[in-house]
Amino acid sequence: MEPTDRVRACTRSRIRVMFDLAQATDADLVRLEVGEPDFDTPDHVTAAAVAAVERGETHYTSNAGLPELRAAICETLDREYGVRHTPDEVVVTTGGMEALHLAALCTLSPGSECVVPTPGWPNHLTQARLADARPVEVPLDYPFDLDADRVVEAMSDDTDAVVLCTPSNPTGRVFDPDAIRAVVEAAADHDAYVVADEVYAALTYDRDPTGIAALCGHPDHVLTVGSCSKSHAMTGWRVGWLAGPSEIVDEATKIRESTTACTGSVAQHAALAALTGPQDPVAAMHDAFRERRDYVADRLDDMSGVRAPRPEGAFYAFLEPDTDEKSLPLAKRLLKETGVVLAPGEGFGAAGEGRLRLSFANSMDRLEEGLDRLERGL
């Protein structure tokens, strides 16, 4: 017996390939390959988790999540991003990753198409394959702004979903509202859903963040994915959400009965404190990431033999070195010769080949050292 075709069609994330290589190395490395805040979870959030444990809040919750957390998510979406939902239109998930997977399972039929602009997060492509659908890559040209005409042209009668990730992982770009509206309008014409991956929305630097569902005239065709992971330094707590029309959210909740049942109860209480408690730590982390963005962007502008679009959100820069080396061998060489660890661009779709993703979710000292090593290596 062999694994199924759907499983064999999936490949390992190149991010994790570099992560494992770095883990097996004893040298002094500057780790810039993984997108994870280097800050600790805010104290009031961990205190809320401890209090939940002491109260005995360690049992199953409803499949959709704690009612008070779903209400807090609705309030956050409305206040911060202009996206309006009621609690029955929200399901709490085990990280944004599960929310994206549930969205794929609920919208994609076997043989249907999922349109994904690339460079993009590799899980978007993998999750389409796991739903027995066909991912349709739409390569974007440098500097990776959303080309609405190209995305709309890629849609067909078989298109069931379009994934838009803004701010973008891996490029850090924030898509133009007019381009987003054009894509959502076309998706609605094809009776397809737009999956709005907005886990980095809180880390938008040069404009006020607005949710895709708030930008368009067809919010009933938009599924919003969010998370506490990046904004509140809660990657290990695994709390995210899927918000959208109740007919989709109800089905996603039903699927959870056979998968994770519910997100960990203690983590849900922590997330409730994160969303309803003091937001000063979130603002401080945002400011720190923006300062690092400025430093990294300026260094790359001055670095010969490399170009990168200025990140407008998230905590990534997407580098294009002036070399004929493929991205995975290049990343491996830089790790071996200079001790700086980056993610190969080939892992983010065909449009990423020859490029490297740098995460600036690290201290200024380590970023300076990493960029010094990168400049020598290139």
Domain annotation covers residue 49: no
Tell me the pLDDT tens digit for each residue of 188-216: 999 999 999 999 999 999 999 999 999 99
Task: Choose the final residue of a domain: 241, 276, 311.
Answer: 276
Domain annotation covers residue 318: yes
Same domain, 196 and 232: yes
Domain count, the chain: 2
Q: What is the mean pLDDT of the chain?
A: 96
Domain annotation covers residue 222: yes
Q: Tell me the residue range of the domain where 165 lies.
A: 55-276
Length of the chain: 378
pLDDT at 3: 86
Domain annotation covers residue 15: yes
Residues linked to residue 344 through DSSP beta bridges, in sequence order: 356
Same domain, 31 and 95: no
Task: Choose the final residue of a domain: 218, 241, 276.
Answer: 276
| Dihedral pair phi/psi, residue 231, rounded to 5° | -70, -35
- For helices 265-276 and 43-54, the axis angle rounded to 10 degrees is 140
d(CA 41, CA 236): 10
pLDDT at 6: 85
pLDDT at 314: 98
Residue 12 has pLDDT above 90, yes or no: no
Alpha helices in the chain, H assignment, sequence order: 5-8, 14-23, 43-54, 67-81, 95-107, 122-130, 148-154, 177-189, 212-215, 246-256, 265-276, 280-302, 327-338, 364-377
The encoded tokens of residue 104 equal: 């794929």
Tell me the pLDDT tens digit for each residue of 111-165: 999 999 999 999 999 999 999 999 999 999 999 999 999 999 999 999 999 999 9
Same domain, 284 and 272: no
- CB atoms inside a 10 Å sphere around CB 142: 13
The three-state secondary structure class of 340 is strand
Same domain, 123 and 270: yes
Task: Choose the final residue of a domain: 222, 246, 276.
Answer: 276
Same domain, 330 and 207: no
Domain annotation covers residue 47: no
Domain annotation covers residue 72: yes
Same domain, 139 and 217: yes
- Domain holding 114: CATH number? 3.40.640.10
pLDDT at 5: 84
**Cα dist. 268→66, 74, 132, 272, 282 in Å?**
7, 15, 31, 6, 18
Residues linked to residue 343 through DSSP beta bridges, in sequence order: 357
- For helices 280-302 and 364-377, the axis angle rounded to 10 degrees is 20
Domain annotation covers residue 46: no
| Dihedral pair phi/psi, residue 313, rounded to 5° | -165, 180
Same domain, 35 and 85: no
Give the side-chain half-sphere CA count within 13 A for 56.
0
Residues linked to residue 165 through DSSP beta bridges, in sequence order: 197
Tell me the pLDDT tens digit for each residue of 232-260: 999 999 999 999 999 999 999 999 999 99
Same domain, 226 and 359: no
d(CA 82, CA 194): 17
Same domain, 125 and 271: yes
d(CA 199, CA 227): 5
Question: Cβ(277)–Cβ(231) under 8 Å?
Answer: no
Same domain, 262 and 297: no
Domain annotation covers residue 91: yes
Tell me the Cα Rg of the chain: 20
Same domain, 86 and 198: yes
d(CA 150, CA 195): 18
The encoded tokens of residue 130 equal: 């796991």
d(CA 346, CA 6): 21
The encoded tokens of residue 76 equal: 């956050």
- Give Cβ neighbours of residue 310 (< 8 Å, ≥ 6 apart): 143, 172, 297
pTM check: above 0.75? yes
The encoded tokens of residue 365 equal: 């000292």
Please, which pLDDT band fits residue 268 given cuts at 50, 70 and 90? very high
d(CA 315, CA 1): 43
- Domain holding 330: CATH number? 3.90.1150.10
d(CA 378, CA 370): 12
Taking the alpha carbons of 315, 317, 318, 323 in that order, is the dihedral positive or negative? negative
Question: Cβ(92)–Cβ(64) under 8 Å?
Answer: yes
Question: Cβ(192)–Cβ(221) under 8 Å?
Answer: yes
Residue 1 has pLDDT above 80, yes or no: no
d(CA 228, CA 163): 20
Same domain, 354 and 271: no
